[in-house]
Every structure is written in structure tokens, then in C-alpha cells.
Structure 1
């Protein structure tokens, strides 16, 4: 159960299956520079996209419990796959906790396209999610825009390894993007929080193909705006000088602290304290443990 005495000075908890959520974290830091932040990279279980849904749900609940134990006043599920699989369960489990999930930016993409064809790059699990498919069908009915779905198997693994600009990364991106362009897509949705981390590589690829006019949609900014709205509505927003302490950031990982430290430095240019932690899944409830 979430505490009923959440403090405006408490941190916001953010998590992803790995380093992808750093693309969301940077938007949150830009829009909410006074908020204390906790970031969990569940890299010991990455990627989520090829895991059974039950395991993804268990990981989400375990990490949420960990963040709440660290005093988190709100949780950002900075992972499309985890949002699709588990955000509803998380909200039901912690009804008093502000929870923000991420979704592929189909609406803004539909507003941007000129050809009426939008390519969606995401994990297979995200693209198979019932909520995602309902949204796709709804927007198609309203706008007539066709969404071309491209599961990007293995892309998260390459990004986790730090292969952001390698020849192998460029070949992988070409493999996924070229078929979408051949179908006249002029807008691409980066439907996984890892993918904005290779936005520069995608832009170079598009320019090399003579398609520098293709629009890219990243929803990290929208996530930060929604978090801000929820914090203000709940009276939880931290303002300048609250408690006299500057905003802090602490990182946690279920794999290598050295690797997450390197990711913070290379991707965001910052060097927060990082700790390796063991976050076990919650035990199945029994008659003796239920409240």
C-alpha cells in the first residue's frame, strides 16, 4: 500500500528494462529540474520484449515496490513493453500512487504524415499489445492513416551494449527502416524508449538514403509533461529551494553498476551515484499474507 503522507520533497522513481529510459529521464530533468529522481535499469532481465508477459508484470511490480521502499512519490514506467504489459496492474496494485506510462506516439505521427503512411518501430510485444492495437485501429478510423508495424528484434540488445554508431548498428537500422520507406512511410515512430538513444544514427541513415525529410516521433517529452501535471494535481511538485536541498539523481541497476555509470556519462553527460541491487519478484499472495 502507498503511504498517504507522500512528501513533495520525495523523489520520482523512473525505471526501464535497461538504459532506454534515460531518453525519458533527460526530458524529465529538462522540464522538472527541481525534482529528486531515482532511476532503475533492470538490465539483469533485459530486454523485456522477448520475455513472457507474466515475467514482465512480476518485474514491474518488484521494481515499483523497490522504488516505493526508497520513498518514491510517483512512478514513471519508462518502457513501452512494460507499459503495455503491466501499467494497468501497477495502477490497480498502488491506487494512491501517481503512475505514468509510455506509449508509441501514434497521434502526433498521424498529424505529421503527408503520405498517410507511418512506420512504427517497436518491440514485438509492444506491437502485439491489445491496447496498442486498439489505439492504432481508432486513429486509423479517425484519420485514414496506415500504420506499418516493424518489430525490431535485437535492437534493444545492441543499444544496451553501447553500439550506438557502429557499422553493425547502421546495418540493423537499415534492415528495419528501409522496408518502411519502400512502403512510402514519411514518418517514423520511435516506439521503444531505447530507440531515441540512436536517433542520431537514424537521422544519418535517412540523410544517406536521401530521405532527410522523414519525421521522427519520440514521446519522452509528453511523458514529462504528464508527470508534471500529476505532481501538480496531487500537490506533490517540488519547487525551487524546497527544504534547501538541490535536486538529486541516484541510479540503480540489477546488472553492472559500471555499465550504468558509463551509460549516464556517454548518453547524458552526467555522473550520479549508481548502485547494483538485487530486486526479487514479489512472492505470490497467500491467505496468510493478504490484507
Structure 2
């Protein structure tokens, strides 16, 4: 167990926005990063599909890699399947939820946006977070089905038209009260990978918040006192399907200390 890895799971590359803070917090931990590219994108799938797929896949991954802890670095998978995974596995599991609480604390105008996949923004879980932590705010939501794929295209070195990002931001700013919005929750782990592009598309100062740092703090707390003696901080990126797009991500993964493999 001493050198058992932390397993970071996402539908694709979005979890890299969580992996960075985790590695900073636990520099000696081996990492297994899993991208379920065979099921990507989760945001357009039904709740039933995700609730069945994610626990089954994480069960196989747990048997293979024997992780010390699992991070579901995907808002959609967490809001739908987190409870199912925790019930199925005897491993600590940390989920990812929209950062509505810190957004409500940061806003000056009391108008915040939640930008996520369609599957995430329609969840009752988001309703509950807004009611509990942002009851004094106007909470605008926009589900964008394509931005996760756009973020992955950027990682592959492809050029993405600026108007694509402008259309995403307009989904929030064009709503009633959108002109007063000053804080946006990036409720998909892919979206921090294109935060600079979204900020440029907003055309006015905007604060973007997401959960990467909070997840890293939670992981570090749960693994406080763990013995990493003799461990190499290795990194392995595992894909569930072999295709040209996953191969094209190899340079971006190598830059983050991850070697590529397939499940």
C-alpha cells in the first residue's frame, strides 16, 4: 500500500485541471490518470448511462491499479454517480462539485453564473448547492455541450475560433441579469483548461472559480500521514479506447509527467 497510486478519473482530459493541484499537494504520490475517452463526452449522456458506466469502470480500474484513493475529477460523473461508486468500492472516493459556495462568497454584484455541461447544470444537486450557499444571489446557468471537446482540441494543439468561446459566454451574459454577472463557476473540469479564452470572450472583468484547489486540499487531508518512503512520483495516463485523438494528446501528457497507456 505504501506506493499505491492516487487514481484521478475523468471522461477525458478535464481532470488535468485537478491533477496539477493534487501533484503540488502530494509531490511524492504516484498518479494514475484515467480518461474514459471511449465514453466521452459524459455531458450529453443520460443519467442512467453514467450511473451504470462509472461504477463498473472504476471497479475494473480498482482491481488493476489498487489505488490508495480515487478522485472523480468530473462534475457530471460526480453529481450523478458518486454515491453509487462509494457504495460499490472499499476505497476513499473524492468527488467534484460545482464551486457555487466560493463563487457566492466572491461576488460583489450577487449575480453568478454556472457554466457546465447540460447534464451537470440540470441536476437537483446544483439546485441544492444554490439554495444552501447562494440564496442571496441570482444564479444563472448555461449548459454547453461542446466546450469540453473544444478544451481537448486545444490540448491537441488545434486552433479554436475565438467566436466559439464568445458564443459560450453569451449563453450566460445574454440572460436576464447577465450584464451584472461578475463571477462564473466553471462546473466542468475541462473548462479551466480554456479559462483564458473564456475571460477574453467575456470582454469585461470576470472572476472564474473552480474546484481544483479545494479537491487537492481534501485529498491531502485524507492522506495526511501517508508514508511515501521509497515511492517514485510516477505518472501514467490510461485511455479506455485507442484512437488518433488520444495519440495526439501524448505531448501534452508528457509535459505533465504522464506516460500513455490503454485499458
Give the deviation of 1:54 after TM superposition: 1.9
Give the deviation of 1:132 after TM superposition: 1.7
Among 110, 123, 139, the residue aligned to 1:147: 139
Q: What per-residue deviation string (whole Å, max 9, x for no partner) do you get for residues 210-252 of structure 1? A: x1x21110211111111111122xx5x244xx1x232111111
Cα distance in 2 between the residues matched to 1:267 and 1:106: 29
Cα distance in 1 between the residues matched to 2:3 and 2:44: 37
Cα distance in 2 between the residues matched to 1:259 and 1:34: 30
Query: Is the deviation greater in 63-72 or in 185-194?
Result: 63-72
Among 273, 281, 284, the residue aligned to 2:259: 273
Q: What per-residue deviation string (whole Å, max 9, x for no partner) do you get for residues 54-94 of structure 1? A: 22122211231132111111110000000011001111112
Question: Partner of 2:159 in structure 1?
Answer: 166
RMSD over aligned CA atoms reads 2.0
Q: Which has the larger radius of gyration?
A: 1
Structure 2 unaligned segments of length 5 or more: list them: none
Among 188, 197, 200, the residue aligned to 1:204: 200
Alignment CA distance shift 1:261-1:8 (3 Å) = farther
Q: How does 1:58-69 map onto structure 2 within 5 Å?
A: 58-69=52-63
Give the deviation of 1:174 after TM superposition: 1.0
Alignment CA distance shift 1:27-1:261 (3 Å) = farther
Question: Partner of 1:105 in structure 2?
Answer: 99
User: TM-score by structure 2 length?
Assistant: 0.90
The number of aligned residues is 257
Question: Partner of 1:185 in structure 2?
Answer: 181
Give the deviation of 1:271 after TM superposition: 4.7
